[in-house]
Each structure stands twice: as structure tokens, then as C-alpha cells.
């Protein structure tokens, strides 16, 4: 497929490389142009502006910070004029469900189909091509986009427009609360004198096992909080979870408390640019222990 890719940050760059490895032709753009230019060596074509990325392609993929960032590009008249009728826009950013539905409505008069297809799996999943891809939209649009989506991970159509973002919000609630639970478990093991690495090995395949236990548990033990998933973006996702819950008349107490702790990590411990597994630092600080940063 001829693909235009907008947003080649920590995850987007790996996703582009996997598209290229699968034989697709990819034109890339990033606000910080050096991040896009780094992909030229892998075979990508670098464009100077978003409208040049989308011109003449079968599929546009956006991997941006949030819904408003995507909207800012979508609303550009030059880009809208450059879009090809019959093409597909796949927004793999994390946004609010209503933002994605609005994007779909805005593209329809241009003859451009839309999928909201946020991902989970972090930079490791992006690099390995094993991302969980939660797609919302029409079944025929999803089927047409599969050659690209399959190159980046495991795509599943979860419902109509906006459903992919709703699934991502559910995912982020599980991730955040699980990080909190794993942090407590790792600290308990350390202070109690057990070997956290040995315990993680013992729990493999058991009911408590998870990617977060194994990967983020190891990060916590090593005090390695180099960003894979930023704390500031975790907070943004939790804000969206709670906003959607409020619109449905729901109270999510565990999500509320976990968000409060992530905000404390960001605001009181300057942890916004750290990996979200750095919630372990906040827990150490809460217990008046060395954070190990």
C-alpha cells in the first residue's frame, strides 16, 4: 500500500519500520523533522508538511499526542484538499471517543473513510510489531486497512466509530491500576527480604502474571524509568477515562485514586517525562523511602 504516516515519535518510528519491512511504501512527517529524517535510511520518504504526506496515498496513519493534535492537522485546508477520495484515515493516537467520531464525520464529505485504532504495547510492542490494535469503524474499512494494520500488530475490530478509543480507555484504566498494584507488590517484596526477580519468575503463568508484572516489575527493581510510556500521557488517558465515565454517570474509584497518584508524581516529583512505571517512585516517597532516582 501507499501509506502516509504522521507522527514518528517513540512508537511511530518503530511502526513505520515495520510497515516498510512488510513492503509498503511510506511517506513520513513529524513536527520535529529530525525524527522523520531518521527513517530515510530505512526507506521512508520524508515530507516537509502533512499535506504532502497525504497526497495520493491509499492510507493515512496518524500517531499523534491526542485528539486535538489530530484535529489541528485534519482542519488544515491544504491537507483536506490533498486527501484522495476513496482513501482511509487511520488514527492510532489516543483520543476521546467523541473526538474520533467527529473526525469520521468531518472526513466523510471528502470521500475519506475513518478508523480510530489506538494501540497498546508500548515501544517494545511497536518495535516487535506485536501491538494490540483496537479498531472502531465500518467492517469494510477495517478489512481494507488490514494489510497495514497486520504489519504493526494484532488488529481487532471492536465496534463502530469511537469504539476503538473506548477500548483504549478501558485498557489504560487496567494498565494504570495494574502499575499501582505491581509497585506495591515489588516494594513489599524488597522490604520483606524476598528476591523480586525470583518471585516474578515464580508467578509466571499464574493468575497474577502479566506483562506489567514482568516488564514494569523489572523496571521498578532496577529503578529504570527511561520513558517507554510517559507519565504525562498516562494522566491524559486517565483524564479521558474519567471524563467518559462521568458522561455515562459512572464513578470509578480505583481509577480516580490512581490518577491522583500519577498527578503527584508529575507535579511534586517532576516525573511527567518519566516512564509510567515510575509510579513506584511515588510509592517509595509516600513511605518515606529513597526513590532511587
Give Cα 20 to chain centroid, integer Å. 20
Annotated active-site residue in 35, 96, 168, 236 = 168
pLDDT score, position 229: 86
257 contact partners, CB below 8 Å, separation of at least 6: none
pTM of the model: 0.86
Among 156, 144, 160, smallest CA distance to 98 is for 160
Residues of the chain with pLDDT under 50: none
39 contact partners, CB below 8 Å, separation of at least 6: 8, 13, 16, 17, 26, 28, 46
Ramachandran angles phi, psi of 117, nearest 5°: -140, 60
Distance of alpha carbon 232 from alpha carbon 145, whole angstroms = 30
Domains and their CATH numbers in the chain: 2-159 (3.40.50.720), 166-287 (1.10.1040.10)
35 in catalytic set: no
Distance of alpha carbon 276 from alpha carbon 272, whole angstroms = 8
Distance of alpha carbon 293 from alpha carbon 290, whole angstroms = 8
pLDDT score, position 293: 66
Which tens digit of pLDDT belongs to each residue from 137-169? Answer: 999 999 999 999 999 999 999 999 999 999 999
Amino acid at each position: 500500500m501507499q501509506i502516509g504516516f504522521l507522527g514518528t515519535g517513540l512508537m511511530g518510528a518503530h511502526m513505520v519500520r515495520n510497515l516498510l519491512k512488510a513492503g509498503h511504501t511510506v511517506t513520513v512527517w513529524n513536527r520535529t523533522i529530525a525524527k522523520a529524517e531518521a527513517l530515510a535510511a530505512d526507506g521512508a520518504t520524508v515530507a516537509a508538511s502533512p499535506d504532502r504526506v497525504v497526497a495520493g496515498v491509499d492510507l493515512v496513519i496518524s500517531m499523534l499526542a491526542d485528539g486535538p493534535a489530530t484535529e489541528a492537522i485534519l482542519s488544515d485546508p491544504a491537507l483536506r484538499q490533498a486527501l484522495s477520495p476513496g482513501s482511509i484515515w487511520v488514527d492510532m493516537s489516543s483520543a476521546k471517543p467523541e473526538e474520533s467520531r467527529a473526525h469520521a464525520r468531518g472526513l466523510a464529505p471528502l470521500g475519506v473513510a475513518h478508523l480510530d485504532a489506538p494501540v497498546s504495547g508500548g515501544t517494545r510492542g511497536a518495535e516487535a510489531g506485536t501491538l494490540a490494535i483496537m479498531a472502531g469503524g465500518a467492517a469494510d474499512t477495517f478489512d481494507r486497512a488490514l494489510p497495514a494494520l497486520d504489519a504493526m500488530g494484532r488488529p481487532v475490530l471492536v465496534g463502530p466509530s469511537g469504539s476503538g478509543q473506548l477500548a483504549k480507555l478501558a485498557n489504560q484504566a487496567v494498565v494504570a491500576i495494574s502499575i499501582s498494584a505491581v509497585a506495591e507488590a515489588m516494594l513489599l517484596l524488597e522490604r520483606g527480604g524476598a528476591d523480586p526477580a525470583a518471585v516474578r519468575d515464580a508467578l509466571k503463568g499464574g493468575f497474577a502474571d502479566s506483562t506489567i508484572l514482568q516488564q514494569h516489575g523489572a523496571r521498578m527493581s532496577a529503578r529504570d524509568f527511561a520513558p517507554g510510556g510517559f507519565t504525562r500521557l498516562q494522566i491524559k488517558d486517565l483524564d479521558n477515562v474519567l471524563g467518559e465515565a462521568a458522561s455515562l454517570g459512572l464513578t470509578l474509584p480505583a481509577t480516580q485514586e490512581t490518577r491522583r497518584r500519577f498527578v503527584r508524581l508529575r507535579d511534586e516529583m517532576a516525573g511527567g517525562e518519566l516512564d509510567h512505571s515510575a509510579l513506584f517512585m511515588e510509592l517509595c516517597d509516600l513511605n518515606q523511602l529513597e526513590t532511587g532516582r
